[in-house]
Every structure is written in C-alpha cells, then in structure tokens.
Amino acid sequence: MLIPIILSGGAGTRLWPVSREAHPKPFMRIGDGKSLLTQTHERALAVSGNTAPLIVTNRDYYFLSHDELADQEVKPTYLLEPTGRNTAPAIALAAMWAMEQDEDACMLVLPADHLIRDTPSFYTSVRHAENLAKDGFMVLFGIKPTAPETGFGYIEMGDKVSEHAQVVKRFVEKPDAVTAARYLEQGNYVWNSGMFCFKASTILEAFAAYNPALLEAARAVWNSTKPEGDKMELTSGFSALENISIDYAVMEKAKNIAVIPGDFDWSDIGAWKAVADAIPADAQGNTNNNCQTIVIDSRNTHIETTDRLVAVIGLDNLLVIDTPDALLVADKSKSQEVREVVSRLKASGHESHKTHRTVARPWGTYTILQDAPGFKIKRIAVKPGASLSLQMHHHRSEHWVVVSGKAEVVNGDHTIALEANQSTYIPAGNKHRLTNVGDTELALIEVQCGSYLGEDDIVRFEDIYGRVQ
C-alpha cells in the first residue's frame, strides 16, 4: 500500500488577513476554487489508487476539515493533536498507524497547504520515490530552483542512486540572496519541499537509531490513543513530546536519504506574492481572486476581496487584501513581513489574528454583524440535525429571531418550537440549547445584551461534540 499522510495545520501568518489561527492556510481557496486541503486530498487519492489518507491535524480543525471534505467519495481518517509539535512527532505517530494498516506500507507525506498543478509530473516523481522507498531509502522531493529564493531551505545533491534520484549531500538553511544566487548557478541544489516518501517501518527504524527518546514517548502516546469513528484523538501526553521537525530529528542524521529533483510546478503558498504568482495575470501583470475589481493605470498588483467591490488607481507592485473585518495593503516585496502584523495583533489581544467575522463551529457558523459596547448582533446558521450545547451565560442575555428553518429551543425549564418570524428571550443565567429540527439550514439573528460579551462567557453542561468544560 501507498498511504498518503496529509499534515494539515499552521497559522499561515504571512497570509493574514485571509489565513488566521482558527481558519488557517489549508482552508484557503486558490486557483480552481477548491481549498488547498481539498486539492491535496484529491491529489493524494489519485496517486495512491484511492487509498484513504490519514490527515494529521489539530483537534480544533477536525469539524472544519470534515465539512471541507464532506463531498469526497473516499473519506480520510483523522489523527488529532491537542497542540502543534512540528512534523517529527506527527510523522512518528502516523507511521505507527500505517504499520497497523499494512506492515509493508509506504507513506507519502504531503503538507496540506501546497499547490501543484502539473499533476502528471508529480505522479511520475511519486512512482520513482515509491520504488526507492521499497528498497529502504527515505526519499525527499526536491524542487528545481527557478530563482534565487531566500524563503526556502535547500538540499545539496550528491551522486546518483538511480536514474531519477541522487544522494542527499547536506541540508542547507534558508540562505541570503548572494548564496541563493550561487546555488542557482551551481545547479546541484534544490528547494526542500517538505514532502517525503518512505516505508513506515524504515522511518520508525530511523527514529529508533537517531531519536529513540522521541520514539519511546510517541509510542506511549499511541498506545493510550483509542479510535472513535473516523478519528483518533491523541492523549494529553502528546503535548510533552519534543517540538522538532523531521529534518532535525532524523533526516539530517540518516545515511539512506535520497532526493528526487521534481520537474513539476510547486508552490508552498508561503506569502501573498506566491498567491499572486499562482494566478494568471492580465496584460499589466495584475491578478485577483475572481472578485469584483476596477483597475485603472495599475501594474503588478494583486487584489483579493470577498463581498464588496475594490477599485484601485495608479498602483504598482502592491497587494490589496480585503476581508469583512480587516484590510491589508502592502508592497509585494514586503509580503514576508505580514507576519509582523499578526505578531502585533496577538500582542494587543486583537481577535482578528485568530478569527474572521464569520466563525465556523461544529454545528454551523456565526457571523458578527455588529459589535459595540453593551450589545452584539450575530447571524447564526445551524446545519440540519445539528445542535448547540446546553449552555448558560453569566453576563449576557440573548434575543433570538428565526429568519428561516425550524428550531427547537430549550429555555430554562421550557422547550419551545420556533419558525420564521418567531422569537424568544433568554435571560442571563438560564440554561438553553438551540437545535435545528428541520431538513434545511436554520438561520436566526441573535442580539446579545450585557456588561461582557466575550466568547468565553459560556458554561457548557451537555455537548454532542465533546466540548463540555
């Protein structure tokens, strides 16, 4: 078996304000309108012969991932981390899972946030990598440099081990511009894509040889993890594992390492300039995400917007990224520095580093329509059959007005049915629950009133999604 392992996480801070902590880069839609996660999942199925992937992700992204891939005929299994611990712990645990599926399984490790359009060439490289993996090699996919890029790690290639692969001579950290130009000229360096292929047994043997402490700790976590439906939620011991990449933990120490210099187009979509480069440009070099724009006397400018028209005049080499609650305007050459904006937002406690105005929940979404001292207005959308937790608020009361659909509302000691144009009032301190009992989406307007309206003013008593405090 060739089992795809999809690593899905990371805040994507250089892609703010679209990528945020609660809605990171794998869920961004680029190119054909599908999310990067969906594109990776489909690519993995095609190359593996429809073997269901394992997606390793944070537990907070399970329901978002599940909804994103709901239309896929072949569904993945999920390995859920309580916190991010880098790629080495994730791959070690994924290998233990893969060994239980097939002792001779090869693993194809793919980050969920890469863009590859030349899929036939990628599939060819995977076939070469799989053959080497069966012979005991741990194979990396290198990308032939097209420019002196300083944002990637590099791999120096040595002698050939096959017609299509070479020995990894050394790993190189992100270089400065002069060094990157020299690597490009020499021709024996490739970008380190972060994609791998190896047998599950081979990578576990490598952990045993080069990082036995991590392997032992990871195995203890695995032995205490129990499957539940399509997911396995790792126990709290996972958070104590070493926070280390697979390169540092194993690859830079091992001897049986090969690299295949891929001919396929590839982007890690690491910053907004990479997003712009992935979209066909007009005659003046301008790009957009199929949004409403008016562009006058502007060149090499990228525009993203969701729900309103953006007009630009006289711009050159700029990024204009518009979301309902935040606007980014930056020089393309400074796209790597967007992460500094996120750092400042986090330091100040501003919520826009973490969430959008529309926030996904296991039961549906809520959208903040207005937030002011003493009140907040939301649009609540609940999926058919879904239910919010039985909960209570200390500091706010809520008024619910149903716009469409059928609701069952627990309000204190009473259970009532509500339809369109009907409402109820929930005083602070009342236990309450909202359930969609119809077969279409339930939409309602919620008006919160109170001295404190933070999302943490919630006490859950019962929850079908396991979120009881």
How confident is the model over 166-200, as pLDDT tens digits? 999 999 999 999 999 999 999 999 999 999 999 99
State whether residue 200 is helix, strand or coil. helix
Contact 262, 125 (CB under 8 A): yes
Please state the rounded mean pLDDT for residues 231-257.
95
105 Cβ neighbours under 8 A, 6+ residues apart: 1, 2, 3, 98, 99, 199, 200
100 Cβ neighbours under 8 A, 6+ residues apart: none
H-state helical runs in 331-461? 338-348
Position 78 pLDDT exceeds 60: yes
Sign of CA dihedral 26, 27, 28, 31: positive
Q: What are phi and psi of 250, to 5 degrees?
A: -135, -55
Q: What are phi and psi of 385, to 5 degrees?
A: 80, -5
Give the Cα separation of 155 and 194 in Å (integer).
11
Q: What is the CA radius of gyration of the chain?
A: 24
Give the Cα separation of 115 and 267 in Å (integer).
5
Please state the rounded mean pLDDT for residues 394-413.
97
Sign of CA dihedral 32, 269, 195, 341: negative
Q: Please write down the HEC assignment for all residues of 220-260.
A: HHHHCCCEECCEEECCHHHHHCCCCCHHHHHHCCCCCEEEE
Please state the rounded mean pLDDT for residues 57-85.
95
Contact 204, 215 (CB under 8 A): yes
Contact 4, 49 (CB under 8 A): no
pTM given for the model: 0.93
Give the Cα separation of 39 and 32 in Å (integer).
9
Apex 230 CA angle, 229 and 236, nearest 5: 85
Give residue-wise pLDDT tens across range 345-362.
Answer: 999 999 999 999 999 999
State whether residue 307 is helix, strand or coil. coil
Q: How far is CA 279 from CA 78, 200, 218, 293, in A?
A: 31, 37, 41, 15
Predicted pLDDT of residue 469: 53
Please state the rounded mean pLDDT for residues 242-268.
94
Please state the rounded mean pLDDT for residues 394-408.
98
